[in-house]
Amino acid sequence: MRIVVLDGFTLNPSDNPWDDVASLGELTVHDKTAGPDIVSRSRNADIILTNKTPLSADTIAALPNLKFIGVLATGYNIVDIKAARERGIPVSNVPVYGTDSVAQFTFALILEMCHHVGHHNHAVHNGRWAAAGQFCFWDTPLIELAGKTIGIVGFGRIGQRVGEVARAFGMKVLAADTYRGNPPAYPFEWREIPDLFAESDVVTLHCPQTPDNGGMVNRELLAKMKPTAFFVNTARGGLVNERDLADAANSGVIAGAACDVVSAEPISPENPLLHAKNILVTPHIAWATLAARKRLMKTTAENIAAFIDGKPTNVVN
């Protein structure tokens, strides 16, 4: 089997070897692949592995040898799964690898908005604490999470783990999801999305992006939030109308936001989130701990082995 990785750098920048995958076939790894090069690099591939490099219907049609697509992530919106299904090509993702890492990072963002740790660290190093003449000082409100309400949109593995952490902080948990099976053991309450946005002190997204929910976080939905509330997105940038989110932060409709994902990555210098006040933007790293990337590599190899064995797993199409 000829295996081509189109954008392997994020999974293995040098600390997460491809050995398990390489043992399954003739492996070629490209750190990243520009759009015009996708077909030429993939023409002879039996198996393609991709993280964010798109595989459109036209691209899939141009690859007669292609037999299997492995997505190096949980989200698979970068693959035209309908076109792959029509060709009889299984598409497998990695559904469980970053649950703990993403939940941890979600709270890193929330806690930063509550305490502005980075800002106060810089203030101390710039001599402001010494100059203040006080035992302590702070520039921003310091917010306690106990007794606050967190609203979680997308209550799958990651969303439920975020809720578990929130409960440990003493927060009330609200959840919204189109699927309401397998609820967690801890107390929480279901809400429709508009009510969740209105009642929560923190709203955090953990749902996939689909053709039906692009830009769902817009001016109207943000207007339902409390002016003291925070918004967090570690899911997909396309879920948010970024101009509306920037306007909401700039005008005080919400207290602030934190986004680890944006609609076009890497971020454009013109993205309105970069120029809005009280918005943190991080470079899509919630998933990227070494522990999570090792799990992703292991499951990817297992997906390929299962396909070769005629019993593909984690198939999304």
Q: Which residues are catalytic?
A: 236, 265, 284
Question: How many CB atoms lie under 10 A from the CB of residue 88?
Answer: 7
Report the alpha-carbon distance of residue 152 to residue 171 in Å, rounded. Answer: 12
Expressed in percent and rounded to 5, the helix, strand and coil fractions of the chain are: 35, 15, 50
- For 288, residues 6+ apart whose C-beta sits below 8 A from its C-beta are 10, 101
Report the alpha-carbon distance of residue 82 to residue 56 in Å, rounded. Answer: 10
CA dihedral 306, 307, 313, 315 (to 10 degrees): 170
Cβ atoms 39, 81 nearer than 8 A: no
Which amino acid belongs to residue 212? D
